[in-house]
Amino acid sequence: MRPSVRKSVFAGIAGLSLAGTVAGCAPSATESTPAAPAGSAAATSAATPSAGSSSLAGSGATYKDGTYSADGNYVSPNGTETVGVQLTLAGGTVTAVDITQHPSNPNTRKFQGEFAGGIASQIVGKNIDELNVSKVAGSSLTSGGFNQAVEQIKSEAQ
Amino acid sequence: MPGEDWEDFGFEGIGTQWEISTPFPLAQSVRARLLNRVEEFDAAWSRFRADSRVSIMAREPGRFGFPDEAGRLGPLYRTLYGLTDGAMTPLIGASLERLGYDAGYSLKPSGSPLPAPPWDEVLKWDGTIITTTLPVVLDIGAAGKGLLVDLLADELEAEGIDSFVIDGSGDLLARGPQSTQVALEHPYNPGQAIGIVPLAGRALCASASNRRAWGDGWHHVLDGTTGQPVRTAVATWALADTAMLADALATALFFVPGARLEQAFDFSWLTVFSDGSAAHSAEFEGTLFT
């Protein structure tokens, strides 16, 4: 059985927790902003990054360390929408993912904070990939845009 | 998808991704029939194509004939308009467009939110005939996707196919004896679920206020009486016999407590609030992860 679109997104970034954090950046033209490789302890790759370049797991290609952002588009029932994706690459591993809904929405961020704080004692999320389900009922429409942005980052980071 | 070896037919329609799962592959003629139905629906109801019936209505008042499905949609919208004290209305479109949710998708608010005009002053919805006294922007977004799910189910049943699951990007309808395990998507993390519901012979639809958000806190669910966005509930689910009903009621849960809607409709509901708490009817008992 062909996996659903949504599933393939998460398979594509296996090992990452795709927290729907809304970063506060304003919509920008698709630009890459390599930052100094932060000494993030989250990098689990055993390979020692040399000259700021190493391979992203599973891809075989090499990518430069840094923080990259790109916008992707997806079409909702109400037209074309944009999702911002920011990836931090360190030692050949993706160490952080931020999803931004454009334009940035302070109210959404507030809700996210509240939800993250209040959910533990009440509703708990489980990773969909770990559940035995055939379908997902929800209203996210971002998978296509996310994949598109990741592809762009991959090409820029080489 | 519900069975191990079911076949999926995927396509794009009304701006979103669709998947129809059946025990046997759909014949080419059936696929063509389904795609044609989607096109007919879009041609009548889309706000985003200049040649649609809805776009013509937005330019001039008059008497407009709509396809048969208008006969299902009108009474439902009218009932919900009453139950929500006017908050849920198909006339919300002008306010959405002013907030930047327009055909050009400017995302730039062009004025204060506009309250929707009172239904009886501008609109007469009589079966498949809609008569207007002013140019109005009709927006059937609260029930439209669910309605199309039902219409595609009708096409399949007319072809003698009685076991299937239609997935309109998360709005689901199952027919036949099989049961499908469905994850309820976490409102803030599409990689996670907050519960699992078995779906058999019915429709399950969701609505959320955090997607499709733009500007200074405007959410895509607007209260028609004030033109202001609705903020308390962050995600809702409704289980009903038809996808049109489940889709519309998932939106109505943003305006009216589920317990009150239950007095008017035969359905089950789940509402998740911004603080991570949830309220639900009996059928959702035990489906949430805690």
Do the domain assignments include residue A51?
yes
Q: Looking at residue A13, what is its pLDDT?
A: 32
Per the structure, how many domains does chain A have?
1
Residues B165-210 pLDDT 10s: 999 988 999 999 999 999 998 876 777 788 999 999 999 999 876 4
Mutation choice for A interface testing from B107, B164, B214 by most A CBs within 10 A: B214
Q: In terms of CA atoms, which chain A residue is nearest residue B96?
A: A78
Q: Which residues of B244-269 are buried (b: 16+ CB within 10 A; e: fewer)?
A: bbbbbbbbbbbbbebeebeeebebbb
Do the domain assignments include residue A127?
yes
Averaged over B58-79, what is the pLDDT? Answer: 94
| ipTM score assigned to the predicted complex | 0.71
Averaged over B53-76, what is the pLDDT? Answer: 94
Do the domain assignments include residue A67?
yes
Tens place of pLDDT per residue across chain A (158 aa): 333 333 222 322 322 322 232 233 333 333 333 333 333 322 222 222 333 332 333 444 566 777 777 666 554 434 455 556 666 677 666 665 555 544 333 333 333 333 332 222 356 677 777 777 778 887 544 444 455 556 666 677 76
Alpha carbon of A90: minimum distance to chain B alpha carbons (Å)? 23
Mutation choice for A interface testing from B212, B219, B247 by most A CBs within 10 A: B212
Do the domain assignments include residue A15?
no
Contact residues on chain B for A8, CB-CB shorter than 8 A? none
Do the domain assignments include residue A25?
no
Q: In terms of CA atoms, which chain B residue is nearest residue A14?
A: B191
- Are A101 and A22 contacting, i.e. CB atoms less than 8 angstroms apart? yes
Averaged over B20-29, what is the pLDDT? Answer: 97
Provide the token pair at B264: 């008017």
Does B211 reach chain A within 8 Å, measured CB to CB? yes
Q: Looking at residue B158, what is its pLDDT?
A: 98
Do the domain assignments include residue A100?
yes
Q: Looking at residue B155, what is its pLDDT?
A: 98
Residues B234-280 pLDDT 10s: 789 999 999 999 999 999 998 888 989 999 999 999 988 766 678 88
Residues B79-114 pLDDT 10s: 999 998 888 889 865 555 555 555 554 555 556 556
Whole-model pTM: value is 0.65
Does the structure show a pLDDT above 80 at B216?
Answer: no
CA dihedral over A146, A152, A156, A158, signed as positive or negative: positive
Do the domain assignments include residue A133?
yes
Alpha carbon of B129: minimum distance to chain A alpha carbons (Å)? 24
The residues, any chain, with a CB within 8 Å of residue A122's CB and separated by 6 or more, are: B276, B277, B278, B290
Q: Looking at residue A146, what is its pLDDT?
A: 52
Q: Looking at residue B134, what is its pLDDT?
A: 84
Q: Looking at residue A85, what is its pLDDT?
A: 63
Do the domain assignments include residue A16?
no
Domain that holds residue A49: 31-157
Distance separating alpha carbons of residues B75 and B238, to the nearest angstrom: 19
Mutation choice for A interface testing from B186, B202, B251, B273 by most A CBs within 10 A: B186
Does B194 reach chain A within 8 Å, measured CB to CB? yes
Q: Looking at residue B237, what is its pLDDT?
A: 95
